Amino acid sequence: MKKKNLAIILEIIPIISAIVAISLIFSLKETTGFQKVLINITTLLGFLGFVFFIVGHKLARGEKAVLILGILDFVATAGIVVMYVLAILSFGL
């Protein structure tokens, strides 16, 4: 597999994970054990977007697609962090 393709796949993982995690958190009223595990895994993958950006950037230097997806990785990480900050603020400090 080419390094560019692998880097793009690695860059897409946190973006999709953040979208799935946020949609699962807001769509489910009651969660089962499997759903909680799925939410935790997707949230963790979405939160680690900056790590995937670093790995993807080292694999495919100079690729514009990797750079754009890296920016979206940072947005995914920021989205997860903002969601948790809002959750903490809504329950009180």
pLDDT digit string, tens, across residues 10-53: 899 999 999 999 898 888 888 888 999 999 999 999 888 888 88
The whole-model pTM stands at 0.83
| DSSP line for 32-71 | -HHHHHHHHHHHHHHHTHHHHHHHHHHHSTT-HHHHHHHH
Backbone angles phi, psi at 48, to 5 degrees: -90, 25
